[in-house]
Chain A
C-alpha cells in the first residue's frame, strides 16, 4: 500500500537509524576522550601550574620531566609492576581455571571466593593488607607469637622489596577475575576434539599444551588488555598500601601524575607525564586492536 516514495524514505531512514543510534556515543567519545586528550597534550606545552594557563613554553616540561629522578623511579617501578603483575595474574588465573574445570566439588562455593576481591575498593582493603604485611602487627608478628622466631617478612618496609608487596595485593585483587575469563574460555572448548586426542593416547599435559591452551588465545588477549589497563591505572592501591613509600620506592606513573598535577601545582609537568603514559598505552594497545579487529573482517 505504501507508495514508492514512501518506501524509499523508509529504506533511507532504516539506513540512517544505525548511525543515528551510534552518534551520541561517538560524540561523547570525541569530546570527553579525544577532546580531553588533545587538551592535555596542549597543557603539556604550557606554563600551567595550579590551574590551566596558556603561556607557551615549548618542550620545557618534558625536559624537566626527564631530569626528575622521581619520574625515572616511577617508570622503573611500572616496568617491574606491570611485567610481574600481568604474568603472575595470568599464570594464577590460568592455573585456577584449569583446576576448577576438573569437575570440582564446591566449585560454586570457590568461584565467588576467588572473584570477590574485585568487588572491593582499595580505600579499605589497602588498610587490611597494610596491617597484614606490617612486620610489627601482621604476618611476621603472628609467626613470632606462634613460636617461629626467625621468621622475617618485612618487604613493605624495605625499599628494594616494597614494590613486590604492591604486586601481591594487586594480584590478589584481579587474579580471580582473570580466572573467570579463562574458565569461560575453557568451558567453550569442544570436548569432541579432546576425546579424539585422548583416544590417540595423548597425556593430559600434552592435551593442555598442544590443544587447549592454544585455543584460549582470545582469552589470553582479553586478559592482557584488562590487566594492562588496570596496571596503568593502578593508583588507589599504592596510595592506600604504601603511599608511594618507603621513601619513593613504590611510586608509579599514575601517582606521579596525580601528585604533580594536583598536589605540587605543576600541572604542566603532570600533563607531560600523562602524555607519555598515553603514548605508552597507545603503543601497547594499537597493535593489539589492529590484530584483533582486522581478523574479524
Chain B
C-alpha cells in the first residue's frame, strides 16, 4: 500500500515538474450519466485521474437526454464559471466552438495521433475551424432493430432485409396476436425511427440532402411522403398504449416476448444484457431493413472549455484519459456503444458490439456513415426540434403524410 502511495506521489511530482505547476487542480465535469452502469464506467475515468493526483469535481445534471445539463451549462458560462469538461452531443459542441468558448486541443491531438484513429465523420463534430475542441467517448449507432428471437422463430420470420419483408413480418406478427412493434411515443423516439425509415425509403443521398443539407426539394419530395407513409404503417402496428412510454419499457416488451421488434439505438442492448439475455440466442440485433450498409450515428463527447487561454495540464490529462484505449473499451462495454477510435480491438465486446464496430468501420470507409438527425448530428438543435414537431404530430395522427411533408418544409425554413 505504502509503495503504491509513494509511486503515486512520485508520478504526481514528475507530472507537476513536467508542466511547471506546483499543485494539480481539480477538473470539474458536467455530465448526465447518473444511471448505475454509466456512472460506474465514468468512475473509472475519475479514478484514472485521481491516480495522477487530479481531483474530480462531479457535477451531474440528469434529464431529457442532456437538455437539462445544457441549460445549466449556459448559466455557468454566462456566470463566467465554465466547468473544465462538459458532456455534449453533435451540434451543441460546434455551437460552443463557434462562441469561442472551447479550448484548442491540437497539441495534445497531434501528440496522441487522434486524427489517424478517430473516424472523419466523427471528427466533424469534435473539431471546429480545424481545432480539436472535444474528446469523443463513443459512437452510438441508431439504425438498429432489436428483436425477440423466440417470437420470430415461432412465427417463422427470418431477419427482414428490405421494407417489403419487414412489412410482411409485421403483418404476420399482427395476425398472430403479438404486438409487432414496441415503441415509446416520445418525440425523440419517433424521430429515431423516422431516421431509419427515411434512410431506408430514400437511401443515403436522399438522407444527406434532406437532413444534412436541408434541401427544400428533398424535404418536400415524394420520397419524403413515402417515408411518412411508412411511419403511418409503423404507427398502425404499435400497441394502443405507446404514447409517452419510456424507451426502456418498450425494450422490456421485446424482452418479455410481448412484442417482436423495437427500433432503437444500441443503448437498448444493455437492457437485454441486464435481463440476462444472450445476443444471437435470445435476441437479435440487425440494421433497419434497407439500411444494412449505412450507419447513422451519434457520439457522446466531452468538450473542453477554455480555462483562460491555454489547456491546463489537468484538462489535457482528462482528454488524454478519455481517448485512452483502456477507458474506451471499459466504458463502451457498459454503454452498448462502440469505441470512438477505430484502432482498438473489440474482442471484449459481445456479438452485437463487434458487429457494430465492423459496421462502423466499413460505413466510415465507404462514405456511408451519417450523423443521426434524431440525435442532433445532422442539423442544429433548432432544425432538429422543428423536424421532431412534424414527425411527432404526424405519428400521433395530427397530420396526414401530405400535410406532414408541407409542414416539414415550412418548419425547417422557420428554424433555419
Contact = CB atoms under 8 A, between A and B. Distances in A.
Whether A and B touch directly in their complex, counting CB atoms under 8 A apart, is answered as yes
B241 A263 contact: no
Contact of B241 (A157, A242, A247, A248): A157
A10 to B, nearest CB: 44
B154 interface: no
Interface in B362-416: 380-382, 385-386, 389, 392-393, 395-398, 407, 410, 414-415
A294 interface: no
A111 interface: no
A259 B415 CA distance: 13
Interface-central residue, A135, A154, A243, by most chain B CB under 10 Å: A243
B395 A242 contact: no
Interface in A214-272: 242-249, 259, 262-266
Given A70-B389, A245-B243, A259-B385, A159 B74 contact: no
Interface in B97-121: 99
A266 B97 CA distance: 17
A144 interface: no
B392 A263 contact: no
Interface string A122-148: 000000001000111000000000000
B10 interface: no
A247 B385 contact: no
Contacts of A187: none
Given A264-B382, A265-B95, A266-B415, A245 B67 contact: no
Nearest to A247: B396
Interface in A143-199: 154, 156-157, 159
A64 interface: yes
Interface in B235-249: 240-244
A68 B392 CA distance: 15
A262 B414 contact: no
Which of the four size classes fits the interface of chain B?
Answer: 20 to 34
Contacts of B241: 134-136, 154, 157
Contacts of B415: 264, 266
B196 interface: no
Interface-central residue, B187, B241, B243, B393, by most chain A CB under 10 Å: B243
Contact of B398 (A64, A130, A159): A159
- Looking at chain A's contact residues, is the secondary structure mostly helix, strand, loop, or mixed? loop
B336 interface: no
B244 A245 contact: yes
Interface-central residue, B244, B380, B392, by most chain A CB under 10 Å: B244
A50 B95 contact: yes
B28 to A, nearest CB: 20
B172 interface: no
A191 B381 CA distance: 63
Nearest to B391: A247
A51 B398 contact: no
A266 B95 CA distance: 12
Contacts of A245: 185-187, 243-244, 392, 396
Interface string A105-122: 000000000000000000
A242 B380 contact: no
Given A247-B393, A265-B381, A50 B64 contact: no
A150 B396 CA distance: 24
B35 to A, nearest CB: 16
Closest 4 CB pairs of A and B: A247-B396, A246-B243, A136-B241, A157-B243
Interface of A: 49-51, 64, 67-70, 130, 134-136, 154, 156-157, 159, 242-249, 259, 262-266
30 contacts: A49-B382, A50-B96, A51-B74, A51-B77, A64-B414, A67-B414, A69-B407, A156-B243, A157-B241, A159-B396, A159-B398, A243-B186, A243-B244, A244-B187, A245-B186, A245-B396, A246-B185, A246-B243, A247-B395, A247-B397, A248-B389, A248-B393, A262-B71, A262-B74, A263-B64, A263-B385, A264-B381, A265-B381, A265-B382, A266-B382
